[in-house]
């Protein structure tokens, strides 16, 4: 009786034909970026328009496949730099992984999504097929990307209440009114200016500078300028929440 030889490099506990099947069934893995920026008075997300099927003409989150030798974060940075020419990211953190079997009609694809925040005073150059869309007025989107955008907004709203993450959305210095507008755009509801300023100062999230804003055309006393005490992510109060007015 002939003895079947174990091919070099295979496990002694795994038949060669089963190992080949395992190699062929590895899933495609991609990274996606939910890039948020407050533009005007609203929260916007960066999307690019697909030129081919599936979902030709629909809009999707920037990203792409992970290279064989790449870490997830490095892969995302590469895609953002090469596809949408975006390098001015103030904060980047992993959001979630989507593994629904039918999320991509072409093949089984696992997606790891990140939230990226861009300062309101940055105006990155983006290609013609890429645009900033209000999160409340998304166009027809590809795959499950609209759902991922909503997950990213939910995460951002939560982190605004107990961290200093707004530093990544705000310029280096700002007035209280300017910072409040950023929070309102992200939270989606009005907040009290007095309470807002008192809470952030008490938590030592922001601090006053010795500078004032340029005078407004209408005159009046120039507003004081503030800055974030730290421009890196820290938890400021794990139990705090900005609540909508009753």
Q: How far is CA 118 from CA 45, 121, 182, 183, in A?
A: 10, 9, 12, 14
Pick the last residue of a domain from 110, 125, 160.
160
Asked if residue 77 belongs to a domain, the reply is yes
What is the number of structural domains in the chain?
2
Write out pLDDT tens, residues 122-174: 998 889 999 999 999 999 999 999 999 999 999 999 999 999 999 999 999 99
Question: Quick one: average pLDDT of 98-120?
Answer: 96
Quick one: pLDDT band at residue 219, thresholds 50, 70, 90? low
Asked if residue 19 belongs to a domain, the reply is no
The pLDDT value recorded for residue 20 is 41
**Chain centroid to CA 17: how far?**
42
> Is residue 173 within 8 Å of residue 156, measured between CB atoms?
no
**Closest among 143, 113, 90, 102 to 34, alpha carbons compared:** 113
Start-end of H helices in the chain: 16-24, 72-83, 145-162, 176-187, 193-202
Write out pLDDT tens, residues 50-105: 999 999 999 999 999 999 999 999 999 999 998 888 888 999 999 999 999 999 99
Asked if residue 186 belongs to a domain, the reply is yes
pTM above 0.75, yes or no: yes
Is residue 65 located within the same domain as residue 155? Answer: yes
Report whether the peptide linkage leading into residue 169 is cis, meaning its omega lies within 30 degrees of zero. no
Average pLDDT over the chain, rounded to an integer: 88
Q: Count the neighbouring beta carbons within 10 Å of the beta carbon of residue 27.
A: 12
Residue with tokens 């790449």: 70
Pick the last residue of a domain from 160, 188, 209.
160
- The neighbouring-strand residues paired with 34 are 115
CATH number at residue 37: 3.90.79.10
The pLDDT value recorded for residue 61 is 98
> Is residue 168 within 8 Å of residue 119, measured between CB atoms?
yes
The pLDDT value recorded for residue 214 is 87
Q: Which one-letter DSSP state was computed for residue 46?
A: E
Is residue 44 located within the same domain as residue 140? Answer: yes
Task: State both tokens at 193.
Answer: 């200016």
Bigger pLDDT: 10 vs 46: 46
Q: How far is CA 161 from CA 33, 166, 203, 241, in A?
A: 22, 10, 11, 5
CATH number at residue 194: 1.10.10.10
Task: Give the 3-state secondary structure of residue 97.
Answer: strand
Quick one: pLDDT band at residue 237, thresholds 50, 70, 90? confident
Between β-strands 206-212 and 224-228, what pairing exists: parallel, antiparallel or unpaired?
antiparallel
- Whole-angstrom distance, CA of residue 145 vs CA of residue 27: 19
Residue with tokens 């755009």: 185
Asked if residue 235 belongs to a domain, the reply is no
Is residue 209 located within the same domain as residue 185? Answer: yes
- Whole-angstrom distance, CA of residue 64 vs CA of residue 67: 9
**Chain centroid to CA 112: how far?**
12
Quick one: pLDDT band at residue 7, thresholds 50, 70, 90? very low
Task: State both tokens at 230.
Answer: 């730290």
Quick one: pLDDT band at residue 23, thresholds 50, 70, 90? very low
Has residue 183 got a pLDDT over 60? yes
Domain that holds residue 147: 26-160
């Amino acid at each position: 009786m002939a003895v079947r030889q174990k091919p070099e490099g295979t496990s002694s506990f795994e038949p060669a034909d089963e190992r080949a099947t395992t190699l062929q069934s590895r899933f495609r893995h991609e990274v996606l970026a939910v890039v948020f920026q407050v533009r005007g008075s609203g929260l916007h997300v960066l999307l690019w328009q697909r030129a081919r099927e599936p979902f030709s003409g629909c809009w999707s989150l920037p990203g792409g496949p992970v290279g064989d030798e790449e870490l997830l974060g490095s892969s995302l940075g590469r895609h953002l730099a090469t596809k949408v020419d975006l390098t001015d990211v103030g904060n980047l953190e992993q959001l979630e992984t989507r593994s629904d079997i039918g999320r991509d009609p072409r093949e089984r694809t696992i997606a790891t999504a990140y939230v990226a925040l861009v300062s309101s005073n940055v105006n990155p150059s983006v290609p013609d097929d890429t645009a900033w869309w209000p999160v409340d007025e998304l166009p027809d989107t590809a795959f499950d990307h609209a759902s991922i955008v909503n997950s990213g907004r939910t995460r951002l709203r939560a982190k605004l209440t107990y961290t200093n993450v707004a530093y990544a959305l705000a310029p280096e210095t700002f007035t209280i009114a300017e910072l409040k507008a950023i929070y309102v755009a992200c939270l989606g509801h009005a907040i009290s200016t007095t309470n807002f300023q008192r809470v952030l100062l008490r938590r030592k999230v922001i601090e006053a500078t010795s500078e004032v804003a340029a005078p407004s055309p209408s005159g009046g006393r120039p507003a004081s300028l503030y800055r974030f005490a730290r421009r890196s992510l820290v938890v400021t109060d794990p139990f705090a929440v900005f609540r909508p007015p009753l």
